[in-house]
Structure 1
């Protein structure tokens, strides 16, 4: 295996917002550093945040700046312009500092597109690797990278088929997202944490994500209302549609709890739950599902190929466009196999360790980044 010398990892939103993009980039960069690979130097570029020898903020316009909002009225979106300014500043930085990178890993599509267009300006003409984790068709992102990293089996199959059909010779890797194991960091018991968050029932159903209808949160609220009064619904995330909070309180009363906590406190939220549900019909991946598995929770997802691939179990993927599907599934388990919740949680924990921990995916990520 031929080693390369310098690898740049770019993410404009890092240390500013906390989407899946930023979560993945920070975890990957920190994990790579801990490997302490001889002869390999990793550099992280971001729009804002703290500066040190290996992390460089470029201080470009944010998605919320006046100039970006103004330009977005005429073309593209706020994210488009944020990514464009960030990419151009990075290219300028490499030119005036005579920086040469062997590979550049990006996760924001517009960053990849811009770097590929102006790649001829960069010293050594680095390989651009795009981590693709959104719902885009291959023909839309083909000009955003030299090499592609897919985190979804659905996107991977689409790309392989499209490339074969159009005789495109670009390498593609299928490697899932991963997370750090934080299960040992808890300082309080489950009961203590439930008291802390004001939970008064025996059972807790948890969902994590933006509280809006695109995450299908209304469905979870209405389905929880069909369960016994032993259940409390905890929704953890930024409020996107405030009427859903009102609906939860109207239907469930004190059995509805909304939380919005610091990222470091998320393990406490998972620790209070007995069951995790992500009801989204569409997701780029759904990192929260593997966070729940890491916490040893049973997980229920919508019935689609991506989620079946993640969970390795078709029986826990149900059609969450259908009324009563979720509540019936939970009630049937309680009646026919009450031990299922504990047993599934244990098997999910093993699934996480074997598939979605850094130890499980490290070899694949190093292969993506360190081989020519």
Structure 2
């Protein structure tokens, strides 16, 4: 948080705000300003220029991907080690981690704590049980991900949304400020402006083919952003608007649109889906069983097929879209209202805090393993001698 702006960071901020009046909670973040209950932890940001010369021994085809992974790993590890001192001093009962590297480092350093904390990992990457980081408990956000998770220590609490902040009642002047006619049909997509996971170029091409439709793209800029903006202007001219806003200002963007879409083939959850639904917008998205379970009632398409999104926008009558939007709001109120989820978090934290965890103890097994290791080292020294 403070280095990048994704659903992960929105989730952490919302959870901290939600529980602040009921739980003694501290937010550890990687950037921004210090505030009551919030600690800024030093780290080497994934975007730091000192990482521009990363060397990876791999095929040029995968070099960019591996370098990006290295940036994230360095950010997570430097953050985790810098966080150790305030964590040790704070004597926390539960440490809720969103990043793998942070989770594993803190878990491996639990022997440093006077009172052993419970390490809870929030699985925002749909990581299956065999690949989960070392931790005591795992929070999953969908039923599908829960089915793949570690049995016995995983539980389900979905992402939530502030239904008062994200509401159909929000008033906006966005159309006026950007010269969009009041009766124009506007599509909105919220996510990183990139070719990769979010596939914003796909959204641009598909909406461009819908006569008269406007497209609003809101998200964090990436190295792909200039090319995608150029593509959008080339295909749509004044019918497309690119912007980056603070999360608290997103409702005014949603309020300017008629329908929400996302080009990604799969999302672990996708907070933007339920934000749009809370605003009363119909959702057009990937026909993946995870998204079908989350959105429940939307228009599900094969986003890998050229023309699929164009057809869905063009051929669905406006009355049906409006009805889907109204139903979406009802679904959010039933399943994703963050105030309803609050009690679930408090109960789960209490259960985790009162659970028993144990550190490794000296045992006959440890003794035999240690003796065997020392014997092998002694034989090696006899054969090859000592360095000194």
1:341 aligns with 2:321: yes
Measured in 2, the distance between the counterparts of 1:115 and 1:344 equals 44
Label 1:196 to 1:55 Cα distance change in 2 as closer, same or farther (>3 A): same
Measured in 2, the distance between the counterparts of 1:311 and 1:146 equals 30
Superposed CA RMSD in Å reads 2.4
1:310 aligns with 2:298: no
- Unpaired runs of 5+ residues, structure 2, are 58-66, 355-388
Q: Does the residue aligned with 2:25 lie in a helix, a strand or coil?
A: strand
Equivalent in the alignment of 1:46:
29
Equivalent in the alignment of 2:347:
367
1:284 aligns with 2:268: yes
Q: Does the residue aligned with 1:41 lie in a helix, a strand or coil?
A: coil
Counterpart among 201, 216, 231 of residue 218 in structure 1: 201
- Taking structure 2 as the reference length, the TM-score comes to 0.80
Counterpart among 347, 355, 358 of residue 338 in structure 2: 358
Label 1:104 to 1:272 Cα distance change in 2 as closer, same or farther (>3 A): same
Cα deviation per residue 1:112-164 (whole Å; 9 max; x = unaligned)? 01111111112211110000111433222242x1100011333221115xx4x
Counterpart among 12, 19, 23 of residue 10 in structure 2: 23
Q: Does the residue aligned with 1:42 lie in a helix, a strand or coil?
A: coil
Structure 1 residue 345: Cα displacement: 1.1
Label 1:155 to 1:183 Cα distance change in 2 as closer, same or farther (>3 A): closer
Label 1:339 to 1:172 Cα distance change in 2 as closer, same or farther (>3 A): same
Stretch of structure 1 that moved more, 124-133 or 150-159 = 150-159
Equivalent in the alignment of 1:297:
281
- Taking structure 1 as the reference length, the TM-score comes to 0.83
- Unpaired runs of 5+ residues, structure 1, are 1-13, 164-169
Number of matched residues?
337
Equivalent in the alignment of 2:358:
none
Equivalent in the alignment of 1:208:
190
1:87 aligns with 2:80: yes
1:1-372 counterparts in 2 under 5 A?
14-33=1-20, 36-37=21-22, 40-65=23-48, 77-95=70-88, 97=89, 99-143=90-134, 145-160=135-150, 163=151, 170-181=152-163, 182-183=165-166, 188-189=171-172, 192-200=173-181, 202-214=184-196, 215-229=198-212, 231-240=213-222, 241=224, 242-313=226-297, 316-334=299-317, 338-371=318-351, 372=354
Cα deviation per residue 1:275-298 (whole Å; 9 max; x = unaligned)? 100120122221111111111100
CA contact (8 A) 1:278 1:300 kept: yes
Q: Which has the larger radius of gyration?
A: 2
